[in-house]
Homo-oligomer: A and B are copies of this chain.
Amino acid sequence: MTANEVFETTFPVRYAETDQMGIAHHASYVVWMEEGRSQYMRAKGIAYEEIEREGRFLAVADLGVRYVAPARYGDAVTVRTWIGELRSRTVTFGYEVLHATSRSLLATGQVKLVWIDRGGRVTKMPDWVRLAIGGG
């Protein structure tokens, strides 16, 4: 089951995100991808903070990033986010990070998340989230 819509969110590279190599530090992309995920869910009418209030959490199980070209302070980046795979207990997001103005590719990534409850036990995706995401 796959939901193929792609959501984009754009923001400037922060000075604090650079390192002494003069480029955005590679851990920043992990935060940007998470921000892409947040915006994806908001665009679908899902407030993730609401899910947590119900005692469901999305824990990161697996993360991969391939870095193609550096992002720099002064640039804005566009994060493209989509759902790569939607299962009852996991969801995998796919990402591209682009230079916002040139649209050149800076990085690709994927993050697999597992639904857990307050006790950290693997659980199922809430039904209302599945409906909102559009998984059949």
Contacts and interface: CB of A to CB of B under 8 A. Distances in A.
A63 B62 contact: no
A74 interface: yes
A66 B34 CA distance: 16
A87 B38 CA distance: 38
Interface string A9-24: 0011011101111110
Interface string A73-108: 110000000000000000000000000000000000
Contacts of A16: 19, 25, 27, 31, 34-35
Q: Quick one: copies of this chain in the complex?
A: 4
B64 A63 contact: yes
A18 B20 contact: yes
A3 to B, nearest CB: 21
Contacts of A35: 12, 14-16
A6 to B, nearest CB: 19
Nearest to A38: B15
B62 A38 contact: no
